[in-house]
């Protein structure tokens, strides 16, 4: 399988998301201020999917966990921004839920990265 370079791929997907959502806002009457948080949310979701689907382009490419982390950060900020625009009184609840999800992801990552203890050789 050919390895895709991530930078032009991400830039192209970002432009498609940007243009598609702006076009959708013009055609459907969606408020333009609601489009910008959606751009961040969809691009962050794209990066999360990309981390699982596409292998790194070369040995100098960022590891998958870094791409996953940045995607989750961008999507989380987009969700917070969208909630701030749509229903600001729900912002503390959404922020608390995002913190809980991040904590669970951190636990899962540390359990995944842990290695079993090596058995000690008996000295008897």
Q: How far is CA 90 from the centre of its chain?
A: 22
Model pTM score: 0.80
Q: Of 44, 61, 82, nearest to 6 (Cα)?
A: 61
Tokens coding 62: 């960022």
pLDDT surpasses 70 at 24: yes
What is the average per-residue pLDDT within 71-94? Answer: 92
Q: Which residues contact 56 (CB under 8 A, 6 or more apart)?
A: 3, 6, 62, 63, 64
- pLDDT band for position 117 (cuts 50, 70, 90): low
Q: Give the residue with greater pLDDT, 60 vs 16.
A: 16
Q: Which residues contact 95 (CB under 8 A, 6 or more apart)?
A: 80
Band of pLDDT at residue 80, cut at 50, 70 and 90: very high
Taking residues 16-40, what's their average pLDDT?
A: 91
Predicted pLDDT at 54: 83
Alpha helices in the chain (DSSP H): 6-28, 32-53, 64-86, 91-113
pLDDT at 1: 52
């Amino acid at each position: 399988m050919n390895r895709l370079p991530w930078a032009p791929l991400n830039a192209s997907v970002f432009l498609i998301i940007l243009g598609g959502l702006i076009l959708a806002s013009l055609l459907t009457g969606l408020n333009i201020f609601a489009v910008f948080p959606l751009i961040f949310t969809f691009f962050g979701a794209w990066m999360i999917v990309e981390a699982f689907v596409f292998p790194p382009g070369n040995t100098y490419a960022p590891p998958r966990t870094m791409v996953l982390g940045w995607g989750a950060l961008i999507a989380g900020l987009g969700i917070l921004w969208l909630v701030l625009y749509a229903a600001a009184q729900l912002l503390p609840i959404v922020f608390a839920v995002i913190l809980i999800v991040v904590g669970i992801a951190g636990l899962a990552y540390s359990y995944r990265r842990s290695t079993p203890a090596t058995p000690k050789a008996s000295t008897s």
